[in-house]
Structure 1
Amino acid sequence: MGKHGDGGCDGLADNGSILYACYGQRATTGVDQKTKDKLESDFARGLACWDGFSTWRFVTNALLGPTPTQSVLALRQQHAPGTQRPITIEIWKVDDLWWQAANKLTPAQLDEVIPGVPHAENVELADLVELILSLEDVDGDGPDHIESIRPVPSTKMDFNNLPETARAEFNAGRLLSARIDKWFSEQADPGLRDEKAQRFRVIYEEARQATRDVREVVRQVYGALGGQDFDLSTKRANAVYAVTAYFFDSCDIFEEPPADNAGGEVRYVATN
């Protein structure tokens, strides 16, 4: 649609018979009038640009007061059964969109519609999605983010020839290490942490066999946990960095330098 706009359409369903118009209300004053204006504008544009729909759904987080409600009633009367263009007009809340539409999609379909929906690409890490979501909720202001930072294993990072970008990502992720410890301690299965550590090790080994580029190895580990589109969300990306750094620091992934290695002279993988 590009420069021509969306024609008042935020989505089509059932072979074009249902047209969705979505409105996120943020105003604090004149809410009713703004909702009314948006509702009428989207309907008029949809009517002019899309001739195949018979149901129009206006999805909004706004409470419909008297003014927009009157508009809905007027439009329903204008497009009632037996008129020249009969249209069923429905008002949906955000929860309606989820439970009556999005919730019926398969994970693959949902990810296509809303790229970046939290998921683990590797099915054996799927139960860590809950951990990722809990880390996304962290606002970054709590004192526990500062008090329990793990020592940065620079020798191990040198030995594995991690690029500066990965080091920065790991260092940012370490701020959440205490949260990850707490999450694992609260799980019913006491062996969950070790089980996932073993799976992470297998994923790392497979990535290492597939490429000698450490940047690609890191990326494949990230993707196994958060999906290849994990970095579409800053919060999700930070959560993925945190979990990866957690297993890196606990010696579950990447290689441990020999005890006499001081500067990481031995490097197993190329960076260019």
Structure 2
Amino acid sequence: MKIEVDIFSNSACISLLSLQAANVSTTFTFASRYFTRFPRASPVITSEQRYWWRIALELKLRKCSGDAFQDFFSTIMASAHGSDFVRVRPFGVVGDKGCDGYLQSTGKVFACYGAINAASDKVQYLIKKMDEDFAKALKALASIMKEWHMVHNLVDGLPADAILKLEALKQANKAHVFGFIGMEGFEATILALPLVKIDGLLGIAATAQDAQNLQTTELRDLVAAIVQATDAQPIDVSTIRPVPPDKLDYNKLPGHWRSMIAGGWQNAHLVDQYLRQHHDTMIGERIAQRFRLRYQYFKAQNLDPGTIMSSLYEGITGIGLVPPARQVAAQALIAYLFESCDIFEVPPEKAAS
């Protein structure tokens, strides 16, 4: 018996000769292992996958704006609902009638607001958009609209004025259901999908097995890229202080970033060992100085801890989907910097001691 399985494209096939039925599934598992690096024995999402995917989602939302944000939302909804979800695009002078997507089975109309860099400072523009988009939808889609939802990429939260505006719309239009869809809604929808679809949307997440097999080559490449981008500057060679156990709590980092840092501590000593053995004896201090300055720069802009963490992480990995081996290397480097007190704040009583 000869079986051909099309995996990645029309030309990519695996031929299996004279296999018993019981062995076929084994071969499929092997193919999956080759693609994902480690097998997924269970569809249950692990805590490691959850925080890596939440990090990937946060970075994606912060970077998506305008049409790109609407496309990302539509792709997620199509993955979750299939043909029940209808993508909407403006056509000529008729526009989109205040509708950026429609779920047929429930009569949900979606209006998207993708701010540049997930900025929340354009409050009046957001309020005006909510008013105008709902008014258009109410006028043009009254026969099919049962619910109206504002979809946004404001990762750090909505302005209070937007909440008040939605409540005003509810009170004035009690025949309709209203709501917001933000990062939490994106996360719930995406993580309810089959794992292969989550991988397609957010990339493959590093597993506990990946974390136990830190690739030195990935760490080397990250360190080299950081050093290459570092401008000549005075180096602070002050003694590295032990990390206070409550530093994570004190800095009020979002849960997924706290989990990521805590998960990286198992490899922080490997980063320290690599830097100590490097031919450039000052490389550790140069990297630490760069990240201290970047942290101080972001903090001076009054950015919240989650936004700062996102910027520091993306400064290490680069923009776009990050493969598992690089996730683990970046995680270890950030944990090392956090542990050595080079980034974020030390609780005052610990700093004084």
Give the TM-score normalised by structure 2.
Answer: 0.33
**Higher Cα radius of gyration:** 1
